Amino acid sequence: MILVKKFRVTVQGETYEVEVEEVSEEANTPSEPVKKTEPKKQPAPQPSKPKESKKEDKSVAGGNTITAPIAGNVLDVKVSPGDQIDNGQVVMILEAMKMENEISAESSGTVKEVKVEKGATVNSGDILIVLE
């Protein structure tokens, strides 16, 4: 008896569906001759080109930005335009996968613009705050 199982395999970022035959000992009895078949030749998978990052440039109109490290929902914005912030200060709380993540400033400066508000959904790399 030959059992066929289907699997999904990911190789270098490309996903393939493959079938694997499991041959039991009973299939090799003289009453059931084993058929030899040539393997099906399929074109070799082409390597995919690296996808360009959608992350924004760190400088926007002469200032630095704070970007979302992961996709999620904005739970709280702790700064407003005009606020002076220090390196490492928590400026926002982002919920991702049911966990609250503190978003901290990577440099000191003055908040020029807050691009998101409480309740917004953001993607990884989205600009959250612009600093002067």
Residues 6+ apart with CB under 8 A from 38: none
Whether 31 is in a domain gets the answer no
Whether 83 is in a domain gets the answer yes
Q: How many CB atoms lie within 10 A of CB 117?
A: 8
Separation of alpha carbons 69 and 56, rounded Å: 12
Whether 77 is in a domain gets the answer yes
- pLDDT tens readout for residues 19-34: 887 766 655 555 556 5
For residue 73, what pLDDT is reported? 95
Whether 3 is in a domain gets the answer no
% helix, strand, coil for the chain, step of 5:
5, 45, 50
CATH of the domain at 69: 2.40.50.100
Whether 109 is in a domain gets the answer yes
For residue 33, what pLDDT is reported? 61
Nearest to 119, CA basis, from 82, 87, 74:
74
Whether 110 is in a domain gets the answer yes
Whether 74 is in a domain gets the answer yes
Q: What is the residue type of 20?
A: V
Containing structural domain, residue 102: 59-131
Overall domain count for the chain:
1
Whether 43 is in a domain gets the answer no
Per-residue pLDDT band at 110 (split at 50, 70, 90): very high
Residues 6+ apart with CB under 8 A from 14: 45, 48
- pLDDT tens readout for residues 63-92: 689 999 999 999 999 999 999 999 999 999
For residue 35, what pLDDT is reported? 62
